[in-house]
């Protein structure tokens, strides 16, 4: 059980700190007695009993993403994310904790966090995702992280200023909460697809297009809580067999609307190997020293000065 990560977490009900239960150490507990048992695969579900308005990725979508990532098609992106996160962890001026800490918001199958932890062994890591199908896989891939079913749009089960890095790879962004959980001087890393990403297969497979001004919209959406800290683009060529073409389409947001077997038939009618260009942007942000917003619990306007 990665106890350093647990010390960065708070109870989703009363917001008190969490600790690990006595042996066999399979539960997380707060001092008011709220208790969360590990599922047999090792993840925790903090959303039990609460409805959520968001459509989680299905088991099939998660299986497609797992197969695609496990085949290494996005390895150059995983490598660059891992390098960027580990560079952000060196020095850690202003950090109050002994071990570096990382939040992977929308961790999915956990492949990106795995690459990060391989480069930063010993880091305390929490992976959040709304899909329990994704977390079953993530918990197996990253037993050295705490993996929790949670909705990024809700107040996060993480204590204030606990994280050195928050990483968000193709997942929803909650700027106020990311700013709250990052320590002063911490870093937010956001990965988004660029216009033209997988354009060669997009039309054929019904994938959703990427808007041209997505980068500006990202900066604008983050501006209330974050200052831009640069970033870089990454482009590389994929060589995809028909199964991988179908997986690429099915694992993204369009997967909610596509029929997997029809997609496989379309993909199978194409060349043995299709070349497609992956285009990504890694954007970096640092929390603003001073921001104003609404209190998450009361909805009141508030001003916050980072210590």
Nearest to 109 by CA among 83, 84, 136: 136
Token readout for 252 is 């993204």
What angle is formed at CA 304 by the lines to CA 300 and CA 307, rounded to 5 degrees?
Answer: 150
Asked if 14 touches Zn ion (CB under 5 A), the answer is yes
Token readout for 74 is 């996005």
User: Which stretch in 13-21, 100-108, 157-165, 234-242 sits in contact with ligand SAM by CB under 6 A?
Assistant: 100-108
Q: Which does 13 bind (CB under 5 to 8 A by kind): ligand SAM, Zn ion, none?
A: Zn ion
Q: Strands, E, within the chain: which ranges?
A: 18-20, 27-30, 35-37, 44-45, 101-105, 124-129, 145-149, 163-169, 182-193, 226-240, 274-287, 290-294, 301-305
In this chain, which of 72, 94, 122, 172 binds ligand SAM, going by CB under 6 A?
172
User: Which stretch in 32-40, 74-82, 150-158, 174-182 sits in contact with Zn ion by CB under 5 A?
Assistant: 32-40
Q: Peptide bond before 24: cis, by omega within 30 degrees of 0?
A: yes
Nearest to 163 by CA among 147, 177, 148, 173: 177
What's the full length of the chain, in residues?
Answer: 307
Asked if 72 touches ligand SAM (CB under 6 A), the answer is no
User: Which stretch in 51-59, 175-183, 198-206, 238-246 sits in contact with ligand SAM by CB under 6 A?
Assistant: 51-59
User: Which stretch in 165-173, 199-207, 215-223, 234-242 sits in contact with ligand SAM by CB under 6 A?
Assistant: 165-173
Secondary structure of 65-111 as H, E, C letters: HHHHHHCCCCHHHHHHHHHHHHHHHCCCCCCCCCCCEEEEECCCCCH
Q: Which does 126 bind (CB under 5 to 8 A by kind): Zn ion, ligand SAM, none?
A: none
Binding mask 99-138 for Zn ion (x = CB under 5 A): ----------------------------------------
In this chain, which of 67, 159, 171, 210 binds ligand SAM, going by CB under 6 A?
171
Q: How large is the greatest C-alpha to C-alpha distance in the chain, in angstroms?
A: 60
User: Which stretch in 34-42, 95-103, 217-225, 286-294 sits in contact with Zn ion by CB under 5 A?
Assistant: 34-42
Please answer whether residues 194 and 213 qualify as being in contact, where contact means their C-beta atoms are separated by less than 8 angstroms: no
Helix axes 59-70, 132-141, angle to 10 degrees: 30
d(CA 181, CA 164): 9
Asked if 247 touches ligand SAM (CB under 6 A), the answer is no
Q: Return the number of the residue (11 or 38) whose C-beta is nearest Zn ion.
A: 11
Nearest to 102 by CA among 142, 69, 150, 51: 142
Q: How near is the Cβ of 272 to ligand SAM at its closest, in Å?
A: 26
User: Which stretch in 38-46, 125-133, 155-163, 197-205 sits in contact with ligand SAM by CB under 6 A?
Assistant: 125-133
The DSSP element (H or E) to which 200 belongs, if any, is helix 199-205
Closest-CB residue for ligand SAM? Answer: 108
Asked if 9 touches Zn ion (CB under 5 A), the answer is no
In this chain, which of 9, 29, 30, 69 binds Zn ion, going by CB under 5 A?
30
Asked if 141 touches ligand SAM (CB under 6 A), the answer is no
Asked if 65 touches ligand SAM (CB under 6 A), the answer is yes
For binding to Zn ion (CB under 5 A), which residues are involved? 11, 13-14, 16, 30, 32, 34
Q: Which residues bind ligand SAM (CB under 6 A)?
A: 54, 56-57, 65, 69, 106-109, 111-112, 128-131, 134, 151-153, 169-172, 252
């Amino acid at each position: 059980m990665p106890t350093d990560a647990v010390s960065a977490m708070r109870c989703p009900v009363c917001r008190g700190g969490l600790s690990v239960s006595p042996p066999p150490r399979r539960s997380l507990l707060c001092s008011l007695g709220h208790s969360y048992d590990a599922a047999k695969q090792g993840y925790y579900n903090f959303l039990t009993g609460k409805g959520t308005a968001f459509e989680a990725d299905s088991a099939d979508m998660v299986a497609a993403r797992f197969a695609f990532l496990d085949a290494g098609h996005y390895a150059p992106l995983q490598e660059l994310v891992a390098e960027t996160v580990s560079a952000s962890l060196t020095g850690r001026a202003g950090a109050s904790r002994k071990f570096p800490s990382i939040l992977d918001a929308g961790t999915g199958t956990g492949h990106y966090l795995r690459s990060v932890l391989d480069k930063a062994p010993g880091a305390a890591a929490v992976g959040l995702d709304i899909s329990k199908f994704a977390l079953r896989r993530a918990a197996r891939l990253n037993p050295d992280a705490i993996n929790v079913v949670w909705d990024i749009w809700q107040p996060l089960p993480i204590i204030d200023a606990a994280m050195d890095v928050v990483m968000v790879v193709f997942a929803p962004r909650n700027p106020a909460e990311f700013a709250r959980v990052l320590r002063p001087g911490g870093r937010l890393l956001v990965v988004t697809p660029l216009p033209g990403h997988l354009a060669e297969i997009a039309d054929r497979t019904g994938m959703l297009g990427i808007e041209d001004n997505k980068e500006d919209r990202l900066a604008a959406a983050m501006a209330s809580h974050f200052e831009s800290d640069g970033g870089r683009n990454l482009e590389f060529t994929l060589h995809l067999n028909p199964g991988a073409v179908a997986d690429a389409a099915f694992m993204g947001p369009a997967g909610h609307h596509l029929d997997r077997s029809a997609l496989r038939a379309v993909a199978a009618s194409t060349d043995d190997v299709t070349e497609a260009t992956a285009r990504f942007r890694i954007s970096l942000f640092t929390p603003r020293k001073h921001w104003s917003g609404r209190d998450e619990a009361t909805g009141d306007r508030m001003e916050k000065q980072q210590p």
